[in-house]
């Protein structure tokens, strides 16, 4: 059981935005639909504007400002700032600073502003409804943002900007399609509630459901379904180990519209210096976890295993030894590179990187094969337990 959370004063602005507005929506939207019906354009506005505000958070607030995963030109920054303001999740400075604290103290019940260890509702919504000390803004971790004129402008004029952005986006659309109330209710109110919960899922469900292929040192999970709902942020296990990568779905086939948007912006000359973690480091983390999982599965059976399982166990151990050996060789070369900075070493590293790519592929293939054998053997063992 978690210790009860300290009582903190209620944050009435947050209660208005996150509790009162959804109640209004539940009453007003069906009533309006019953009496007037919504136009198709109003429905479309809801989906399009959901993308606009959500991507403002994922590509702007999160990957650009909180993590500096790429650089953006001023026009792109202004567009992302407007899109993010439209999502009504407090200022960039407040959001990004809190998010950096989340990464630094992930899962800590006292220091992580939205620690999942305080429960689903706390991580999803509760942390904002009261002024908890963990969620208090601490801008010490954001000197870069304190020096950013655009960020500080948005922070200073946040509330007028929120109103301006809503009037400037919703009214022209509503007027153009001839359904102002429809666009206000669906493109405005309903879209805002959906976009809020899409982001909140990243703090709650993405720390609960899914796999941990890169690290099990925190609760963050990779989940394809959540990636669909969250514009690519569902690959949260990868993100927590390699937070500076502009990609969350790091594999080319993983669904990450935010990564595609940033990449497209770079092709248009609006973004540059997209940061990518070297594939070697990614593969290393992934393989180390695969070994760890195989080990954990084997540990469950202790000595209560048959000869076939013992031999797979032995092969896995040999495989792991070879793997750490290769990693050590590579680390030594890297060390030499740092010390000597000689071109000969750089050339050697280059050759080794190529060799490692092939070797890692082979290790992974053999590991998959061992896993399959192990799974079959374990299934058999469950059916016919070995008597001691
Ligand atoms: Zn997280
Ligand atoms: Zn992050």
pLDDT band, residue 380 (cuts 50/70/90): confident
pLDDT at 386 over 60: no
253 and 317, same structural domain? no
CA of 107 from ligand 1 middle (Å) equals 9
Q: How far apart are CA 85 and CA 153, in angstroms?
A: 12
Residues 169-227: pLDDT tens digits?
999 999 999 999 999 999 999 999 999 999 999 999 999 999 999 999 999 999 999 99
178 and 61, same structural domain? yes
3-state secondary structure of 380: helix
228 and 160, same structural domain? yes
The pLDDT of residue 197: 95
Q: How far apart are CA 166 and CA 21, in angstroms?
A: 15
Ligand closest to CA 203: 1
265 and 170, same structural domain? yes
Is residue 337, in this structure, part of any structural domain at all? yes
Task: Give me the chain's average pLDDT, please.
Answer: 89
Tokens 């904002």 sit at which residue?
A: 128
Of 232, 254, 272, the last residue of a domain is 272
CA of 240 from ligand 1 middle (Å) equals 6
305 and 165, same structural domain? no
pLDDT at 304 over 70: no
147 and 81, same structural domain? yes
pLDDT band, residue 4 (cuts 50/70/90): low
CA of 227 from ligand 1 middle (Å) equals 13
Nearest to 194 by CA among 54, 40, 19: 54
Is residue 334, in this structure, part of any structural domain at all? yes
Residues 225-235: pLDDT tens digits?
999 999 999 99
| Mean pLDDT for the stretch of residues 119-137 | 90
The pLDDT of residue 385: 60
CA of 33 from ligand 1 middle (Å) equals 37
pLDDT at 80 over 50: yes
82 and 42, same structural domain? yes
Is residue 6, in this structure, part of any structural domain at all? no
CA of 206 from ligand 1 middle (Å) equals 7
CA of 68 from ligand 1 middle (Å) equals 16
Of 245, 272, 299, the last residue of a domain is 272
Ligand closest to CA 258: 2
195 and 175, same structural domain? yes
Is residue 145, in this structure, part of any structural domain at all? yes
Q: How far apart are CA 259 and CA 63, in angstroms?
A: 9
Is residue 3, in this structure, part of any structural domain at all? no
**Which domain, by its residues, includes 45?**
12-272
3-state secondary structure of 272: strand
232 and 364, same structural domain? no
Ligand closest to CA 102: 1
Residues 242-284: pLDDT tens digits?
999 999 999 999 999 999 999 999 999 999 999 999 888 898 8
CA of 236 from ligand 2 middle (Å) equals 8
227 and 211, same structural domain? yes
CA of 94 from ligand 1 middle (Å) equals 16
Give the number of domains in the chain.
2
Burial 201-226 (b: 16+ CB within 10 A, else e): bbbbbbbbebebbbbeebbbbbbeeb
CA of 218 from ligand 1 middle (Å) equals 9
The pLDDT of residue 135: 83
Which residues, including other chains, have CB under 8 Å from residue 179's CB and lie 6 or more apart?
38, 39, 41, 42
Is residue 7, in this structure, part of any structural domain at all? no
pLDDT at 137 over 90: no
200 and 284, same structural domain? no
Q: Give percent above pLDDT 90 in the chain.
A: 66
Q: Give percent above pLDDT 70 in the chain.
A: 93
CA of 260 from ligand 2 middle (Å) equals 17
From the CB of residue 151, how many other CB atoms can be counted at a distance below 10 Å? 20
Is residue 2, in this structure, part of any structural domain at all? no
pLDDT band, residue 3 (cuts 50/70/90): low
| Mean pLDDT for the stretch of residues 342-365 | 76
Ligand closest to CA 98: 2
CA of 97 from ligand 2 middle (Å) equals 11
Neighbour-count burial of 10, counting CB atoms closer than 10 A to its CB (0-12 exposed, 13-18 middle, 19+ buried): exposed
221 and 291, same structural domain? no
Is residue 350, in this structure, part of any structural domain at all? yes
CA of 138 from ligand 1 middle (Å) equals 18
């Amino acid at each position: 059981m978690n210790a009860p959370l300290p009582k903190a004063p209620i944050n009435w602005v947050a209660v208005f935005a996150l509790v009162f507005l959804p109640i209004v929506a539940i009453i007003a939207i069906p009533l309006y639909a019953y009496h007037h019906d919504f136009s198709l354009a109003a429905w479309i506005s809801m989906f399009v504007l959901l993308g606009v505000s959500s991507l403002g958070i994922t590509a702007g607030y999160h990957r650009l400002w909180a993590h500096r995963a790429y650089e953006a030109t001023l026009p792109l920054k202004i567009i992302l700032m407007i899109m993010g303001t439209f999502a009504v999740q407090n200022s960039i400075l407040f959001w990004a600073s809190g998010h950096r604290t989340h990464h630094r103290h992930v899962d800590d019940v006292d220091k992580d502003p939205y620690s999942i260890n305080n429960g689903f509702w706390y991580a999803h919504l509760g942390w904002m409804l009261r002024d908890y000390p963990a969620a208090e803004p601490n801008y010490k971790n954001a000197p870069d943002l304190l020096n950013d004129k655009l960020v500080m402008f948005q922070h200073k004029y946040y509330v007028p900007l929120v109103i301006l952005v809503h009037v400037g986006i919703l009214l022209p659309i509503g007027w153009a399609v001839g359904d102002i109330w429809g666009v206000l209710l669906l493109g405005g109110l309903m879209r805002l509630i959906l976009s809020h919960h899409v982001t909140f899922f990243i703090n709650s469900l993405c720390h609960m459901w899914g796999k941990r292929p890169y690290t099990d040192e925190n609760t963050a999970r990779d989940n394809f379904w959540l990636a669909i709902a969250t514009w690519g942020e569902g690959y949260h296990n990868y993100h927590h180990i390699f937070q500076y990568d502009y990609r969350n779905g790091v594999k080319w086939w993983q669904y990450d519209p935010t990564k595609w948007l940033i990449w497209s912006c770079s092709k248009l000359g609006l973004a540059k210096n997209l940061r990518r973690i070297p594939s070697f480091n990614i593969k290393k983390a992934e393989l180390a976890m695969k070994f760890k999982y195989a080990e954990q599965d084997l540990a469950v059976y202790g000595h209560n295993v048959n000869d076939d399982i013992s031999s797979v166990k032995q092969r896995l151990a040999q495989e792991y030894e070879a793997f750490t050996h290769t990693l050590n060789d590579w680390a030594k070369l890297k060390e030499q590179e740092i010390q000597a900075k000689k071109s000969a070493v750089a050339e050697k590293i280059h050759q080794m990187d190529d060799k490692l790519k092939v070797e890692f592929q082979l290790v992974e293939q053999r590991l998959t094969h061992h896993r399959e054998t192990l799974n079959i053997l374990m299934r058999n063992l469950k059916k016919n337990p070995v008597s001691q």
